Amino acid sequence: MRSTRLLAVLLTLAAGTATALPAAAAPARTQHLDLPTPTGRLAVGVTDLHLTDPSRPDPWSPAPAARELMVRAWYPAIAVTPRARYTDDTISTTVAAHLNGVIGGGVSPFLDRVRPHARQDAPVFGAGWPVLLYSQGRGGMRVLSTSLAEDLASHGYVVLSVDHTYDAAAVRFPDGRVVRGNRPEIPTEEQRAEELRVRVADLRTTLDQAVTTPRFRGRLDVTKIGALGHSMGGATAAETMRADPRFRAGLNLDGGFWNGAANHGVPGPFLLLSTAAPDYPTFTAWKANHRAWGRHFALTGASHYSATDLSLFPDISGARALLHDRPAVFTALFGDLFGPRATQINRTYSRAFFHQHLHGIPSPLLNAPSPDYPEQTLRWSHP
């Protein structure tokens, strides 16, 4: 998978340069960061759902327990509540620790100064909204999809971003428990296959239970359901479509494909948005076997993390200053493409895709290169 290969590259780069920065260096940091403004006409609300599936024993829990999930939901809302926090202190510390592990230290927790636009627990506006299930990459967390999710919600989608418990780096539950990830850094093929099966089941559980929660009961259009994800979450989106016909369209944000999708394609419209690196072998296999509508766009200057909020954080985290003499590490983490521009492009293509395949609104953007987005290259299309 792409994420495993990138992790090895990052660790190699960091190991070779970890002593380049004096331990006492204190980078200048911006005071706060407003996430890019959602482009739709609707206000956005956000809430967290605590879900338990008693029919599924958790395969990764140290003690016998039912599978338990935290899910963040963004949705069209009535803006009568305060703006939400980006995340809690535990997750902020975890993200800072991840960056420190790559760049050799110097990053303090900073997510408390990142400001989303969604209103916390705001009332849902209207009804009949399509539903998008979002799966994170290995070790990722639900908050890192905020910029994309807020934008989709502002255009009339309910986005459910899943923390895959024991896969996510850290998950805080309402009773205060913090569950840390326990998956191996470099999994075997058997472990990865198990992880994918669990992830697919997590998305299906989330869909089953979200539609019956008091907040969303009667508000969702369950005939218009899509899946998307970053890195291994992209593979999860593809396999979820293969496993569950309720999912009508899927989007992979720079992830590989698993044996099912690679060898047999996906039974519905599917979009791959990748970096401009050479195609991963499973990209080629998927293209050879996919028979439904399909496109692959590659984004010049993007990193693997450009599809997440991480690309917006080089200044507020202090990482840009810390990596001023290590451009290879900076580029591997944040890319050469300006973070807000990468976010704009990913938002635009994601929105066009789901508008076309869930609402039936054709988009010429998906059929040819666009002069408005010269960084984006159409590498493959079918039909």
pLDDT band at 22 (very low <50, low <70, confident <90, very high): very low
pTM reported for the whole predicted model: 0.94
Place of tokens 């408005």: 372
Whether a cis peptide bond, with omega within 30° of 0, leads into 59 is: no
pLDDT reported for residue 5: 47
d(CA 109, CA 129): 35
Arithmetic mean of pLDDT, 22-28? 41
CATH number of the domain that residue 270 is part of = 3.40.50.1820
pLDDT reported for residue 19: 34
pLDDT reported for residue 362: 97
Arithmetic mean of pLDDT, 273-290? 97
Share of the chain above pLDDT 70, in %: 92
pLDDT tens digit sequence for 101-115: 999 999 999 999 999
- Total number of domains in the chain: 1
Strand bridging mode 129-135 / 33-34: unpaired
pLDDT tens digit sequence for 322-380: 999 999 999 999 999 999 999 999 999 999 999 999 999 999 999 999 999 999 999 99
Domain that holds residue 361: 2-382
Mean pLDDT of the chain: 93
Token pair belonging to 148? 């994309």
d(CA 102, CA 91): 17
pLDDT band at 20 (very low <50, low <70, confident <90, very high): very low
pLDDT tens digit sequence for 146-193: 999 999 999 999 999 999 999 999 999 999 999 999 999 999 999 999
Arithmetic mean of pLDDT, 298-302? 98
Place of tokens 């299930």: 133
Place of tokens 């479509």: 241
pLDDT of 3 over the 60 cut: no
Sign of CA dihedral 50, 55, 58, 63: positive
Residue 243 Cα distances to 58, 196, 199, 247, angstroms: 20, 12, 12, 9
pLDDT reported for residue 145: 97
pLDDT tens digit sequence for 243-268: 999 999 999 999 999 999 999 999 99
pLDDT reported for residue 11: 39
